Structure 1
Amino acid sequence: MPLNAAYRKFFLVTILSCMGAGRLLSQNNTSPAEIIIIGTIHTGNKKFNHKTLYKTIKAVEPDMILREQDKPYKPVFGLSLVRFFKIGKPSIEQLSVQKYAQRNKNCDIVPYDTLIPDRRGYVKKWIGINKRFFAQLDNASKSASDSILYSDFRKMNKDYYAGVVRSTLAEINHAAVMERTRHLYEVEKKQVLAMGKSYIRDTATVADFEKTLIFWEKRNNYMAEQLIKIANENPGKKILVLCGLNHKYYLTQRLEQAQLLVTDSYKILAKE
């Protein structure tokens, strides 16, 4: 091989090797997605509303907002008027996200929830099942130890929701609230359901209640899997996740187990 041809080949191989190494180095240096999960009450309360949430979204400046929905985002014309004239009841997430999206065209709005064809119907049915189950368990004759456990659960549950409806957005996103949510769910799934099976004669009501718990867990699993997938597909981006408060502990736990970067939203909200 002529000398100049050998040099040309060496030079080409060197350049290609450097390019490959550069791409690999670039990939290795890509920062992970930063995930911020904010738990909300969909209707808001006296301490926070859609304006509070919009202010928080604006402060975070996310590249992506993930909504607890199963369909792609579409702006609704006259949404503020719908709320003002009380024609409908848009959630605080819908109101705040639409306002932010109008002013930040480059922010992607992405759904991550499982398919629920009739959301209002689902919520109404869930409330009805819970009311029947707990009304019957309240009146059932229980053992002394179960009576104490059940009474403690009911009081803790009542205090939890009473506290949530009078708390700020920052306060309901504190780690202590997430731990309380987790504890209440674990007691309900295990001890309370077991009591229902032991003391309630209406087996259909117990079966319906158990189905709601099973679906809730499947739904949380699906949501977590979607979040993990989206985060892995969008390295380097700041992703804001909006969810109902009771989902937050589970999603946070699953994302941390997947070794994703989850920023404590309480620290952000407490500054507002």
Structure 2
Amino acid sequence: MKRTIPLLVTGLFLIVLACNTKKTELVLLGTVHQPISNFNSDSLYNILVKINPDLILFEVDSSFFTPQFTFKKTWDSNENIATVRYMDEFDVDVRPYEFTGRNDHRKKIGSRPTDGLALNLLDSVYRNNGLDSVDEKTYEAFLKVNDTLNSFAFLGARAFNNPRTDKVAQTRQRYQYQDLLQVMERYPIFSNTYFIKNKNDSISYLEGYKRASKFWDIRNTTMAKHILHFASAYRGKRIVVLNGYFHRYYLTTLLEPKQQENGFIIKNFEDY
């Protein structure tokens, strides 16, 4: 009988120790923002139910939330509809993790809408046979990998939450923000065509595209920093990070090396 108490104390100590050393589970859940075949708000909701997260990180900034972290409004996106439904039915925290003022910032620095305008101009130059043979092949390679990456969206969550798709996304984004930028730098039309930001300011398509390229890195780095903050604040909990699946490779690349140091483990939604 005397041995029972020490054994009981030891058992309780081990249970407490296990609870204190439990790793935070981080699920980088790639999504498609709008409903399409094989993926909609119901699909995402069902995945959330299976994962049963303690925290959902949402790909917006704090301006979308009240001080109590409820959404100020709802909108027609898979993530918003599914998350609001999940919040109504389960006990879960939801927090923003985006670059603060993302859209306003892009307009302020002139990367938006010049990034899209520059791509449209490049497409026009290409279709009018204005690119040399090497640059033509580069642009065609971008179009091909872009179509491939977008096609995964129609195949369901499994198709855009795996290392193969991450690799395609990384290749696609490299083409967009590095290779195509180098192409534009070789043709004066991009530095000589301007977008009028306001009556006192303008920016060339080339400069706007450069700033968009830099902001892609800044945005993902900032999101990863915020995710690390929540991984520490919610230590030992299960966290779902909702992200448009073009981001998943970048976030994975930044966060994977931080797992041991920060006491979390990255898991796939199919692990649940």
TM over 0.5: yes
For residue 258 of structure 1, give the secondary structure of its aligned residue in structure 2.
Answer: helix
Give the distance between the partners of 1:28 and 1:266, measured in 2 at CA: 24
When residues 93 and 147 of structure 1 are mapped into structure 2, their CA distance, relative to the original with a 3 A threshold, is same
Structure 2 distance, partners of 1:130, 1:147, is: 19
Give 1:216 deviation, angstroms.
Answer: 1.7
Distance 2:52 2:122 in 1: 47
1:264 maps to what in 2?
268
Q: Which residue of 2 aligns with 1:177?
A: 165
Within 5 A, what are the aligned runs for 1:6-85? 26=17, 29-71=20-62, 72=65, 73-75=69-71
1:108 aligns to 2:124 (yes or no): no
CA contact (8 A) 1:136 1:200 kept: no
Q: Is the 8 A contact 1:173 1:266 kept in 2?
A: no
1:97 maps to what in 2? Answer: 83
Q: Is the contact between residue 111 and residue 211 of structure 2 (CA under 8 Å) also seen in structure 1?
A: no
Give the 3 Å change call, closer, same or farther, for CA 226–41 of structure 1 in structure 2: same
Residue equivalent to 2:144: 155
Q: Shift of residue 76 of structure 1?
A: 5.7
| Residues 171 and 127 (structure 1), Cα distance of their counterparts in 2 relative to 1, 3 Å cut | farther
- Superposed CA offset, 1:48-76 (max 9, x none): 11111111101110111111111143146
Instruction: Give CA-to-partner distance per residue, 1:157-205, whole Å, 9 cap, x none.
Output: 12322x1342212211122111100111122222210111112423101
SS in 2 for 1:48: coil
TM-score (norm 2): 0.76
1:166 to 131, 154, 159: 154
SS, match of residue 246 in structure 1: coil
For the 8 Å contact 2:45–2:86, the answer to whether it is kept is yes
2:149·2:172 contact (CA, 8 Å) conserved in 1?
A: no
The alpha carbon displacement at 1:30 in A equals 1.4
Instruction: Please state if 1:190 is matched with 2:178.
Output: yes
1:134, CA displacement in angstroms? 2.2
Relative to structure 1, the CA distance from residue 245 to residue 127 in structure 2 (aligned partners, 3 Å threshold; closer, same or farther) is: farther
Matched, 1:136 2:125: no
Note the 1:173-252 alignment, pairs <5 A.
Answer: 173-203=161-191, 204-252=204-252
Q: Give yes or no for contact 2:184–2:190 (8 Å, CA) kept in 1.
A: no
Secondary structure of 1:251 counterpart: helix
Q: Give the 3-state SS of the residue equivalent to 1:202 in structure 2.
A: helix
* Percent identity (aligned): 23
> Structure 1: which amino acid aligns with 2:122?
L
Q: What is the TM-score with the length of structure 1 in the denominator?
A: 0.76
Q: CA separation of 1:69/1:135 partners in 2, compared to 1, >3 Å: closer, same or farther?
A: closer
| More strand, by proportion | 2
**Matched position secondary structure for 2:247:** helix
Corresponding residue of 1:9: none
In structure 2, list runs of 5 or more residues that go unmatched. Answer: 1-12, 192-203
Q: Deviations over 1:105-146 (max 9, x none)?
A: 3x1111111112657x96xx9774344212322315333222
How far off its partner does 1:29 sit? Answer: 4.8
AA partner of residue 110 (structure 1): R
Taking structure 1 as reference, are residues 257 and 238 closer, same or farther at Cα in structure 2, changes over 3 Å only?
same
